[in-house]
A and B are shown apart, each in its own frame.
Chain A
Amino acid sequence: MRRSLLFIPANSPAMLQNADVFAADAVIFDLEDAVALSEKDAALDLLDQFLNKFKLNSIEKIVRINQLDSPFSLLDLKLIADERIDTIMLPKATSGNTLSLAKKLDRIEKQKHMTKTIKILPIIESAKSVIEVSMIASSQRVNGLLLGGEDLATDLEVERTEAGHEIFLSRAMLILASKANKIDAIDTPYTDIKNEDGLKKDTKFSKGLGMNARVCIHPNQIDAINEIFSPNKNEIEHAKKIINAYQDSLKTGKGAFSVDGKMIDKPIIERAQKVIEKAEQWNLL
C-alpha cells in the first residue's frame, strides 16, 4: 500500500542524500527522463554507489529504468536489479514489454541467487497501454499501475488541462484494472509544483475516482498527498466502532447489527478493515 511516491533524479547527489528524509512511502530513483543522455552512465554509477552506501530502511525503493527498447535499460537492470531495490518502474509499458521485463527479472534473480522478487510498476502513458491496461495489470510481478498523464496527452494529441477531462477515461480504466487485480492505482503527477491548492483539489478528485496514491515531483507535495490518501481521524474512529460492533456480533451470534443507527453489512465491514489496515501501516492509530 502506498500513498506517495517521490521522484528523485539519480544524477543529483544532494537529492539522493535526502531520499529518506521526507514522509514518502516510496522513492523512485529516476534513470530515465530526469537524466540527460550525456549523464546516463554517471547517473547509473552514482545510484549504484548510493544504494551500496545508504540504508533506506522501510521505504520502498523503486528504480525507473530507461525504456526497455533503449540501449541503456539492459545496463540499468544488470547493475541495479538486485536485493537493494524493491521495484522496477517500467516506462512506456505495454503488455509485451511488461512480460519481457518479467522474464529478464526471472533470469537476473536466478543468476544473482536473489531471495526477493522484484516487482514491476508499469507506467501507463500511451493509448496502446491504456487499451492493454488490464493485461498489464494481471502480470504476476506487477503490484501497481502508474498513469503517465503528460506522455499520454501527447499520444492522444491533446493539451493537459487543470480539469483533466482529457485523461478521465484513462484514469478510470487504470483504476478498474488495478482494483480488479488488487494492486495500487497510482495517479499521474501534478506538475504545477507551486499550486498547493490545485494539488489538493485534483488529488481529492483522484481519490474520489478510486486512486490509492500519487507520484510527487517535489518533496513539498508529499504531505498533502499523504493526508488525502490517509484515512482521517473520523474515518478511523468510525472504522474502529464498526470492527468492535462486528466482533461483538460474532460473540453474541447476532447476524445483523447497526452502528450509529445504520445497518452494517459485509462490504462496510471490509471497508472498515481496510481503513484500520491503512491506519496501522501509516502509524495513524
Chain B
Amino acid sequence: MKNSLNRIIPNDMKAYKGMNQIFKQKNRKLVAETLTKNEKKQVDSLRILFDLIPITDGMTLSFHHHLRNGDGIINMVLNEIKTRNLKNMTLAPSAIFPINEPMVDLIKNKNITQIFTNYMNGPVAQAIGDGYLEKPVIMDTHGGRARAIESGELIIDVAFIGVPCADINGNGNGLEGKSACGTLGYAIADMKYAKHKVVITDYITTNIKPIEIESKYIDYIIKVDAIGESEGIVSGTTKPTKDPVQLKIAKDTIKLIEQLGYIEQEMSFQTGAGGTSLAVAQMLKDRMIENKIKGSFASGGITAYLVDMHEYGLFKRLYDVQCFDHEAIASLRRNANHYSMSASKYANPYEKSPVVNDLDIVILGATEIDSDFNVNVTTDSNGLIIGGSGGHSDTAFGAKLTIITTNLIKSRTSIVKDHVTTITTPGETVDCLVTERGIAINPKRTDLIKKLANSKLNIVTIDQLLTIAHDLIGIPKKIELNQKIIGLIRYRDGSIVDSIYQLRGDQK
C-alpha cells in the first residue's frame, strides 16, 4: 500500500498519514517499569550471564551507542551469540557503526534475523542492503525508539548498558573512567523497561554522582577490561568547516535566521557536529555577542562549541543526550546547568514536554532533499544505508524553524532531487533549505516567505534550485531500485514513512 507521502510500504504496517493525522493518541502508553529483585548483582563474565538469565534463541537484546565507533560491548555480546550459535536473535542497538562488523557473519548465518536501530553505517549497513537480514531493519528516530520501548511495541529481553563508571550496586554514569563518554541518555528507556538489565563497566568505584543509571533497575554487573576504545568514542567532525562553499552556506544560514527574527532573547538552538553546523554555531556566537542576546538553551548532541557558548553566558542551559567530544564530557562534569537528558525527555512524542518541542531553531543536514522538502539522511542515491534519522525527524517536527543546510552539488551530484531515494523526514516538517546557490523556503511557511519579501538574500524556489543543478550537471539517469524491501523508516509516532530496498547486484 501507499502512505500519504506516496511511498510503498508493506500492507501489514501502520502507514504514515501526514501531520494532521498523527499524534492523535491522547494517552501515553506505558508498560510497567521493571525493578530488580537481585541482591547479588556481580557476575564474572558474559558467558556466565548468558547461562544465568538465560539468553536463548529468539531473544531481543538492546544496546546504546554513546561509545560510538569505539564501542566494545556489542561485539562482546556478538561473540557470545556466535559461540553458542544462538538463532533468530533480534538486536536493538540505538546505532550501529563500522566497528560492529562482526555482526555481518551473524546476520548471514541467521543468528541475527531482525534489527531495530536509529542509525547505521559501515559493513553491517552494506550486508543489510545486500539482503542478508531475514526481516526488514526498522529505522527509528531517537524519540521514536524511546516511545516504542516504553509502549511495549519494542520488547527488550536483555539490555546491555555500557557504563564507564559504576558502583557494585549498578549505579553509574558516563563521566569518569578510561571510557568516559558523558551522558547515557539513549540507554534510559532500556534501563527502565527491559526484562533484564546488565551494566557492563571497566571502572567500579563508590559514590557515583550524579546517578544516571539507577541501581534499582539493574539486575547484573559485569566488570570487563575495557568497554571501548577511547579514540573511537568522540565524533569524527569536531571543527568548523574551512571549505569556502560550506562557509558561504553557514554565513547565509545565519543571515537567514537573523532576518527571520529568530536571534532574540531566550532563543533555543540545536545543531549537529558536522563542519557546516559548527561553523553556524561559531557565527551564531558572534551575532549573539554583538546583539547582547542571552539564549535559554542549546540541546542535542553537545559539542565544545556549544559548551563554549554556554560558558560565555550565551545559553543558560545545555540539554545533552550525547556528548560529541571530550570538552562536552568535561563540561557535563563541571557545569551545573549542563544536564543529561534521556531520549524520552529529548524527543519522545508522547513525553509531556520533550525538549525538541521547545526548540526555536534546528540546523540539520541532508543526503538528498526533494521538491516537497522531504529529506533523506538514511540512504545514498543508490539506496545504500549510510545513516538514519537519529534526532533529525524529532527536531524537525519540534523546532519552530527547521533549516536544512547542504551543498546543492556534491561530487557532481545534485542534492536536490525530484524525489528523494528514501524519505527520512517528511517535508511538511522542514521549513528552509540553504545551499550555495540560493535559499528555498517551504511554500507551506507563508509567514517566513512574507518576512523575506524584501530580503537581499538569494531567495529562490526549490524547483529553481533543481533547475540550476540540472543546468550545471545535467539530469541524472533514474536509478532503478530492487523491489525487495530490506528496511522500513519508522516515524516517531510508529507509522512507516518509507521502505528501503535491497541493493541491485551491480551495486554490491
Residues in chain A within 8 A of chain B (CB atoms)? 17-18, 21-22, 54, 218-220, 223, 283
Contacts and interface: CB of A to CB of B under 8 A. Distances in A.
Given A223-B251, A283-B456, A21 B437 contact: yes
Interface string B101-134: 0000000000000000000000000000000000
B417 to A, nearest CB: 19
Contacts of B242: 220
23 contacts: A17-B409, A17-B412, A17-B472, A18-B244, A18-B245, A18-B436, A21-B245, A21-B248, A21-B436, A21-B437, A22-B244, A22-B248, A54-B472, A218-B244, A219-B244, A219-B245, A219-B247, A219-B248, A220-B242, A220-B244, A220-B247, A223-B251, A283-B456
Contacts of B412: 17
Contacts of A18: 244-245, 436
B319 to A, nearest CB: 33
A219 B245 CA distance: 8
Contacts of A218: 244
A263 to B, nearest CB: 35
A223 B436 CA distance: 15
Nearest to A18: B245
- Top 10 closest pairs, chain A to chain B, by CB: A219-B244, A21-B436, A220-B244, A18-B245, A283-B456, A21-B245, A220-B247, A22-B248, A21-B248, A21-B437
A213 B153 CA distance: 65
Nearest to B247: A220
Contacts of B244: 18, 22, 218-220
Interface string B235-264: 000000010110110010000000000000
Nearest to B249: A21
A278 to B, nearest CB: 16
Secondary structure of the A side of the interface?
loop
Interface of B: 242, 244-245, 247-248, 251, 409, 412, 436-437, 456, 472
User: For A218, A220, A283, which residue has the most chain B Cβ atoms within 10 angstroms?
Assistant: A220
Contacts, number: 23
A23 B247 CA distance: 12
A18 B473 CA distance: 12
A238 to B, nearest CB: 21
Contacts of B456: 283
A21 B412 CA distance: 15
A21 B407 CA distance: 11
B107 to A, nearest CB: 38
Contacts of B248: 21-22, 219
A223 B251 CA distance: 10
Contacts of B251: 223
Given A18-B245, A21-B248, A220-B242, 7 more contacts: A17-B412, A17-B472, A54-B472, A218-B244, A219-B244, A219-B248, A220-B244
User: For A17, A54, A218, A283, which residue has the most chain B Cβ atoms within 10 angstroms?
Assistant: A17
A285 to B, nearest CB: 10
A142 B83 CA distance: 81
A115 B242 CA distance: 42
A280 to B, nearest CB: 13
User: For B244, B251, B456, B472, which residue has the most chain A Cβ atoms within 10 angstroms?
Assistant: B244
A18 B248 CA distance: 11
A24 to B, nearest CB: 11
B409 to A, nearest CB: 7
A282 to B, nearest CB: 10
Contacts of A223: 251
Contacts of A283: 456
B465 to A, nearest CB: 13
A48 B362 CA distance: 43
A218 B248 CA distance: 13
User: For A21, A54, A283, which residue has the most chain B Cβ atoms within 10 angstroms?
Assistant: A21
A98 B283 CA distance: 45
Contacts of A22: 244, 248
A218 B244 CA distance: 8
Contacts of A220: 242, 244, 247
Contacts of B247: 219-220
Contacts of B409: 17
A19 to B, nearest CB: 11
A21 B248 CA distance: 8
A17 B244 CA distance: 13
B251 to A, nearest CB: 7
A218 B437 CA distance: 18
A219 B409 CA distance: 17
A22 B409 CA distance: 15
Contacts of B472: 17, 54
Nearest to B408: A21
Contacts of B437: 21
A264 B31 CA distance: 81
A161 B247 CA distance: 29
A22 B472 CA distance: 16
User: For A18, A54, A283, which residue has the most chain B Cβ atoms within 10 angstroms?
Assistant: A18
A218 B251 CA distance: 16
User: For B245, B412, B456, which residue has the most chain A Cβ atoms within 10 angstroms?
Assistant: B245
B475 to A, nearest CB: 14
A75 to B, nearest CB: 27
A218 B242 CA distance: 11
Nearest to B472: A17
A220 B251 CA distance: 11
A225 to B, nearest CB: 13
Nearest to B473: A17
A218 B247 CA distance: 12
Nearest to B244: A219
A39 B276 CA distance: 33
A21 B409 CA distance: 12
A74 to B, nearest CB: 31
Nearest to A283: B456
Nearest to A23: B248
A21 B249 CA distance: 10
Nearest to B242: A220
Contacts of A219: 244-245, 247-248
A18 B436 CA distance: 9
Nearest to A219: B244
Contacts of A17: 409, 412, 472
B379 to A, nearest CB: 25
B231 to A, nearest CB: 27
